[in-house]
Chains A and B, each alone.
Chain A
Amino acid sequence: MKKARVRKAKAGTAPPTIPPSSPQGAGAAGGEVSIRMYRGLLGDFFFVQHKQGPDAFKMLIDCGVLQCIGTAAAKPSTSRGKGRIVAAATAFMKDCGGSLDLVVATHEHFDHLSGFIFAKDVFANLKIGRVWMAWTEDRTDKVANGYRNKKGKALAALTALAQNSRLAATSEIATVNNLLQFYGGPDHLKNGVALAADGALPGRASCEAVLEWLRQKAGAGNVAFLKPGEVVRWGVKDGFRAYVLGPPRDNDKLLRQLDPSKGAAREVYLARGEDVETVSGLAAIHGKDGRSDFGDQPFVSLHRRPYDANAKPGSRAGNAKSLKKDPVFQLYRNAHDAYRRIDAEWLGSAEDLALKIDGDVNNTSLALALELSDKRILLFPGDAQVGNWLSWGDQTYPADEVKDGPRLKVEELLARAVFYKVGHHASHNATLRERGLELMTDPRLCAMIPVVEETAHEQKTRSSPNGWAMPYGDLYSRLNERTKGRILRGDGNVAAEKDSFKDAIFKLTYESNSSDPLWCELALALPS
C-alpha cells in the first residue's frame, strides 16, 4: 500500500513549478530560509532564520535538554547535556546578536525549556520581540487553568512518592522518576512559577517559571496564545504564514458522550481527576522519606499487623512478630511463586498517572506548519502525541487572506511538507502513521531528529532495561525510506549526513569541521 503511494507521489503530485535549490543565497529576491539544530542534545533547540536582502527575521523554537536524576557515573551521556547547551547558547547569542524577533515555546517540558535555566546568565540580556505559546499556557483561560491545576496536583503527588527512598527500587517508581526528569526533577519542580525579585530566573527554576520569564521579557502585548485553526504571520516583513494545528481544545466532550464510536481514543488529555485523587491519597501516606506512619488506616488497630515488603527475611524491623510462623505469610513469600507477589502493584496507579501526565503535557504542544512564500511547509509539531495529531483534521485552515475564502485540509498541508522536525525525539508514539508521516508525500522531504541515542538508552528501568527507544526503530526506518536517508540527527555522523544530503533541495552546513560540531543547518533559497 505504502509503496504505491510513494510511487504515485513521484509521478503525480510533485509540483514542478518550484525550481531546484540554487546557489543564489540570501541576496536573491526571494531570500533564504534556514533551520539550525543544535546538536548533542536530547532536547529541542532550533534557530530558524529568514534573510531577504538586508533584512533578517530571527526565530527561536525551544531551547532545552533533558537532565538526569541519577549520578553522572550512571548516566554519563545525559550529564554532558548541561555543559553542551551552555556552550550552544553562548554561540547562539553571538550569532543572533542578542535579539530575536520571535520565540516559540512549544510546551512545558524540561527538554524544550531548560536551556533558559542552565544558560540563564548567557540569556540575561536577550531581547525578545514576540512570543508564541499554545493557548494552554494562557493563565486567563479557564479550560487551560483546569488542566494546569490538575497537572500541578498530580506532579506534587508523584514527586512526594518519588522522594521516598524506600520505594525507589520498584520499577514503578523508577518510571515515575524518569518521567519527572521532563520537569527537571523535584528540585526544579518545587519552585513553581515565581521569578526572582529582579525578574531573573532563579537557579533551579521550573519550566513554568521559564514560560513566565519569556512572557515578561516580551511584554504583555507581544505574547500570543495560539489556538488551532488560526493563521499567524512570520518572516521578514511578516511575509509568511504559519498554520496553528494544535493543541486541540477539548471542547467536544458532549459530542463524545453522545456518540460512543468517537470513543476513548479521542481523549487528548487523559489524566482523570479521580486518578489524581488516588495518587494524592497514596502520596499522603507514602510521600517523603523514612518509614511511613500509615496514619490513614482502613481497619482499627485490633486487626492491624505491620508488614514491610522491604524487611530482610529474619530481621524483625517493620514486620509483626507473629508473621514469621504464619502459614499464609510463608505461602506468600514462597520463592517459587515470587512472580505472584504484589508488593509494588499498588504503585501501578502512580506509574500510570505519570505516563498520562507526561503524554498530556506533550499533547499541549504548539504544533505549527510554517509556510514559505512558495507554499512549501516546514512542520514543527513540538512533541505532539496521538491525540494532538488526530485533532489537526478537526478544523480547516484558510487558504488565503480572503474572508470566507477557500479552506485547506490538513492533508493538503502535510502533502506540502518538505521539512519535518520529528516529534518527541522520534519516540514510538509521537508520529502518526497513516494520518501523519504517510501523508507527507513530497519526495523532497527532509527531517531533523533532536536526539542523542546514548542519552535515551541511559534511562533504564526494570521494565525497560534498554532505556528509551529514541529513535524508535520502526519509525526511524520508515523515516529513512520516506526521506531517502535525508535525516539529520543530534548525534549523527557528519560525513554520512553530508553524503545523504548531496541531492537535497536544502543546503547542509555545520558549525565547524569538527566531528561533533555544535550545530547543523539546512538552508533553502526561495524563488522570487
Chain B
Amino acid sequence: MTSSYPPPSVRKLRVYAFDPQTASTLGSIGYAYATVALPWEESWEEPLDVGPVNEYLEVIDVDPASGQFYEAVNLNDPHLLAQDGLTPTEGNPQFHQQMVFAVAMKVIRLFERALGRKIIWAPRWENRRYVPVKRLRVYPHALREANAYYSREKRALLFGYFRSANASAGASWIFTALSHDIIAHETTHAVLDGLHRRYAEATGVDSLAFHEAFADIVALFSHFTLSEAVYAHIQDKGGALETHASVLSGLASQFAAGTTGRQSLRQYVGSAPDPDLLAKTTECHDRGAILVAAVFDAFLTIYAKRTEDLLRIGGVERGQGKRLDADLAARLTREAVKSADHVLRMCIRALDYMPPVDVKFSEFLRGIITADNDLVPNDTYNYRIAFTEAFRRRGILVEECLSMSPENLLWESPEQMLDKNPLEIDDIEEIDLDLVPHYSRDAIIESSEQNRRKVWNWLVQPDPKQPKIDRRWEEALGVYFVMPKGRESIFESWDGGPAVEVHSVRTTRRSGPDGQDVRQLVIEVTQRRRGYLDADVQAKVDAGGRKPKPDFIFRGGATLIIDLRENRLRYIMRKRIDDAQRLSDQRDLLLQPDGFGFTYLTAGPGQRVVEPFAMAHRGQ
C-alpha cells in the first residue's frame, strides 16, 4: 500500500478487557472493553496482512475438531480501520482472530520495550543446525477442550474452546482465545522460550514453576494497564488495592467459572504470606503462584508507598470505602498504573540477568535487584526493598548471600568472584562483533548468529602461550575447555574436547528514568554432561569408563554481561557444570514420583511429547 499521506502512529483494535463474562456483568460493564493501540508497522517490517499475519505472528483459524476453516479477518479493510477493528463479540470467529492477535502483540511490545531489543522466537533444531522461526503460529480454535498451550514442538499457540459445565460462566461456549489472561500467559511462554530455551527443561523444582509464574506475572500486571478498570476498583474500595479479591487480582475468571465453578483460576489477593509454604509445594502451577504472590506483594507495597501523600492531601484513609473525589481517584489510578508498569518492567529486565540453565526463584530476585540497580542507581521509592521484603515473607530466600538486603543480593562482579579481576576482555574489539543496531528482525537474527560464531571462536580458541588464562575463564564460566579428569561425562565436540555452546549473544540498549543509557552485551555459554540415575554409573563414566546412553542431560554454564561503554565484564551468573550437589538434586527430582526415573523409564526417542505449558495438564 503506497499512500501519499504519512502513516498513522498506531493501529487501534478493540478487545475484551478481561473476557466475555466481564462484559455480561452489570458491575463491570464500564470497563469490560479495551482498545489496544499497536505501533503502526514500520517500513522495514512486513506489512500487516489478512490473517492477521505480520512480522511476528501468523493467525491461522483452522478448527479441525469441528471441520472448519474460518475466513481470516482483514484488518486493513477501510470499514475496520475506521472503527478500530471488529466489535467485540463471541459469535464471530474473525473477532477472535483480532483479539488473539492484538493481545499477543501487546505482550510482545511490552517485552521489547522493557528489554530494549526485538523479540525472537526459539529456533528449530533441524538437520543438525538451528533454523530461525520467523513467526509464531496462533491457532485460535485448535482444540475442543478446556485447555490452551504453547507448543514448543510446533512453535505455536493453541487455544481451545468448550461447552461450559457451569451456569455461572454466563455462556454456553467458552473460548480461551477470548480470555485476555490466557492469551497473555501463553504468549509469555513463547517469548520466554525464545529468550531462554533451557528454562523449559525440568532440571529443578523451580524451573517449570518459573515459566508458569512469569507467564502469570505478565498476565496479571497487564490488567493494570487498563486504567478504567483500575479506576473503578480504586473508587469502589476507597483507594485500596490489597483488601479485596477482584477481577484485577485474579486470572482467567470465565475459564475458571466454566470449568471448576470458581471465581478465578488463580487469585493473588487474600493469601497471607506463609514462609513455609514454598518448601512444601512442588506442583509447578502451585509453586509458581507463590512467586507471583511475592511479586504482587511488592507491587502493593510500592503502590501504597507512592500514594501515601495523595491520600493525606485528600484527607482520606485508605480502604474506608468513602467515595473518593474524582480527581484524587484519577491520580491514584495513575500511580497504580505506573507502579504496575515499573514492577513488570523490573521483572522483564531481570531475564537478562539470570543464568542460562536451571533457574531458581532466588536467582530471579537477584536478577531483579541487579538489573534495577544498573539502570536506576538511585532507588527513591525503595522498590528494591519492597521486592526483597516480599520475597522473604513468601519464603524465597537467597542462601548464598550474606543477607537479604538489596546491596547484598547484587550478583557478584568478577572481582568479587575471583579476587582481583583477571579476565581481560579488551581483545573483544578485535573479533569485530556486529554491534550496529539493526531494525529488521531478519537482520537481527543474521547478525546475532554471526556474533555467536565470533564469540565462540574467541572464547574456545585456546591461548597456547597463556594456559593460565584459559583456566581462569573455565573457573569463571563454570565450564571446561579441556576435558577435566574425573568429569569425563561431559559431552565431547568433534575433536574430543568438551563441547562448549555459545548459546546466544545479544545487545541491549536501555534508558533509565534519569537519562541513563545502558548498552550491554549479554552472552550465554553452556555445556552438557551425561547424567545417570545411578550414582555409581555416573562415577564410572566420570572416571573415564565406557559411556552408556545417558539417563538425562545435565547442563551448566554462565551468562556474561559486558558493559559496552567501557568494554568491561560486569557480571557472571554461573551454574557450574561440575556442581555435584546440583547434579544430585536433579537426579533426586527425576526419582520423584512424577519424574521419569521413578520407575525404570528413561527418556528417549519414541516417547510421547507432553506439552509442558498447558493451562490444564491432560498428560500423565
Contact = CB atoms under 8 A, between A and B. Distances in A.
Contacts of A464: 606
Contacts of A286: 65
Interface string B572-595: 000000000000000000011110
B394 interface: no
A325 B65 CA distance: 22
A463 B151 CA distance: 17
A322 B50 CA distance: 15
A383 to B, nearest CB: 13
B592 A261 contact: no
A196 interface: no
B62 to A, nearest CB: 6
B167 interface: no
Interface stretch (A185-193, A222-230, A269-277): A269-277
Interface in A401-444: 428-434
Interface stretch (B68-76, B105-113, B348-356): B68-76
A177 B71 CA distance: 34
B387 to A, nearest CB: 25
A275 B282 contact: no
A297 B144 contact: no
Given A260-B280, A264-B283, A466 B606 contact: yes
A320 interface: yes
Interface stretch (A118-126, A305-313, A488-496): A305-313
B457 interface: no
Contacts of A323: 69
Interface string A268-288: 001000110110011001100
Contact of B162 (A278, A343, A345): A278
B65 A282 contact: yes
Given A346-B142, A433-B591, A475 B91 contact: no
Specify which of A299, A433, A474 lies most central, judged by the most chain B CB atoms within 10 Å of its CB.
A299
Interface string B120-163: 00000000000000000101011111110001011110100111
Given A282-B144, A309-B64, A466-B606, A390 B593 contact: yes
A414 B500 CA distance: 46
Contacts of B281: 260-261
Contacts of A353: 618
Most chain B beta-carbon contacts within 10 A, residue among A282, A320, A328, A345? A328
Nearest to A292: B67
B42 interface: no
Contact of B50 (A299, A308, A328): A328
A340 B283 CA distance: 29
A306 B68 contact: yes
A249 B608 CA distance: 29
Contact of A303 (B58, B92, B534, B597): B92
Given A264-B283, A433-B600, A327 B49 contact: yes
Contact of A331 (B58, B153, B259, B591): B58
A252 B63 CA distance: 40
Interface string B520-550: 0000000000000011100000000000000
Which residue among A266, A308, A346 has the maximum number of chain B CB atoms within 10 Å of its CB? A346
A303 B71 CA distance: 8
Interface residues of B, number: 68
B42 to A, nearest CB: 22
Given A307-B62, A433-B597, A260 B286 contact: yes
B64 A307 contact: yes
Nearest to A428: B601
Contacts of B598: 386, 432-434
B519 to A, nearest CB: 36
Interface string A498-514: 00000000000000000
A263 B158 contact: no
B564 interface: no
Contacts of B156: 340, 342
A323 B50 CA distance: 14
A300 interface: yes
A142 interface: no
Interface in A305-354: 305-309, 318-320, 322-323, 326-329, 331-332, 339-346, 348-349, 352-353
A28 interface: no
Given A263-B594, A265-B593, A285-B66, A342 B158 contact: yes
**Is the interface on chain A under 10, 10 to 19, 20 to 34, or 35 or more residues?**
35 or more
A260 B205 CA distance: 14
B558 to A, nearest CB: 31
B315 interface: no
Nearest to B599: A429
Interface in A343-373: 343-346, 348-349, 352-353, 355-356, 359
A465 interface: yes
B67 A428 contact: no
Contacts of B608: 463
A2 interface: yes
Contacts of B61: 328
B592 A265 contact: yes
Interface string B458-501: 00000000000000000000000000000000000000000000
A429 B163 contact: no
B165 interface: yes
A474 B602 contact: yes
A305 B283 contact: no
Given A264-B594, A433-B591, A472-B600, A342 B64 contact: yes
B78 interface: no
Given A260-B283, A261-B282, A298-B66, A472 B601 contact: yes
A429 B601 CA distance: 7
Nearest to A465: B606
B53 to A, nearest CB: 7
A2 B534 contact: yes
B619 interface: yes
B620 interface: yes
A73 interface: no
A431 B593 contact: no
Given A3-B536, A281-B144, A340 B69 contact: no
B536 A1 contact: yes
A431 B161 contact: no
Given A2-B536, A346-B144, A298 B599 contact: no
Interface string A67-108: 000000000000000000000000000000000000000000
Given A307-B68, A346-B143, A465-B606, A1 B534 contact: yes
B60 A332 contact: yes
Nearest to A265: B593
A524 B261 CA distance: 59
A349 B593 contact: no
A158 to B, nearest CB: 14
B49 A326 contact: no
Contact of B64 (A322, A343, A428, A434): A343
Interface string B367-405: 000000000000000000000000000000000000000
| Top 7 A-B pairs, shortest CB-CB distance | A265-B593, A307-B69, A475-B600, A346-B65, A428-B601, A261-B280, A265-B594
14 contacts: A2-B534, A259-B280, A264-B594, A298-B66, A307-B62, A319-B69, A327-B50, A345-B143, A345-B151, A349-B147, A349-B618, A356-B620, A474-B600, A475-B600
Given A259-B280, A332-B60, A390-B593, 13 more contacts: A263-B593, A298-B161, A303-B92, A319-B69, A328-B61, A332-B69, A339-B153, A339-B154, A349-B143, A386-B593, A428-B601, A430-B599, A465-B606
Interface of B: 49-51, 53, 58-72, 91-94, 137, 139, 141-147, 151, 153-156, 158, 161-163, 165, 173, 175, 259, 280-283, 286, 534-536, 591-594, 597-602, 606, 608, 618-620
Interface of A: 1-3, 259-261, 263-266, 270, 274-275, 277-278, 281-282, 285-286, 292, 294, 297-300, 303-309, 318-320, 322-323, 326-329, 331-332, 339-346, 348-349, 352-353, 355-356, 359, 386, 390, 428-434, 463-466, 472, 474-475, 478
